[in-house]
Amino acid sequence: MNILIILNDPPYGTERSYNGLRLAKALGTEGAKLTLFLLADAVVCANRGQKVPQGFYNVELMLKSIARGGEVLLCGTCMDARGMTDEAVIEGARRSTMKELAERTLAADKVLVF
């Protein structure tokens, strides 16, 4: 099954992106073909070198795990609006476009939005 998950919220401060990532990881272990698309403040989830308090979840590590078995795409316009560069993004994630999101949406069996 081809699943597209779209995240909109920042990595920390709310748990929407965290819960979307948890679901993405679980779906990946079930054999789903997964695409994760980060929009708006969710592009910050893919920042390289995140430091979090001991015992707190780390979105960077979660994304790296998802990227090993699926695609992690970031809205390029959203990146630019937040001053993010391609070099600041974790390995396995890449800049994308609305056109590509539209294509992935049409190709998906299910689309989930967080």
Strand-pair partners of 94: 73
Domain harbouring 49, CATH code:
3.40.1260.10
pLDDT of residue 112: 98
What would the mean pLDDT of 61-88 be, rounded to a whole number? 97
Q: 53 in helix, strand or coil?
A: coil
pLDDT at 54: 92
Pair 42, 79: CB distance under 8 Å = no
Supply the pLDDT for residue 53. Answer: 93
pTM: 0.95
Q: What is the pLDDT of residues 19-48, one digit of tens each?
A: 999 999 999 999 899 999 999 999 999 999
Number of domains in the chain: 1
Sequence-distant (6+) residues with CB within 8 A of 31 are 1
The 10s digit of each residue's pLDDT in 40-63 is 999 999 999 999 999 999 999 999
Boundaries of domain holding 31: 2-113
DSSP state letter for 91: T
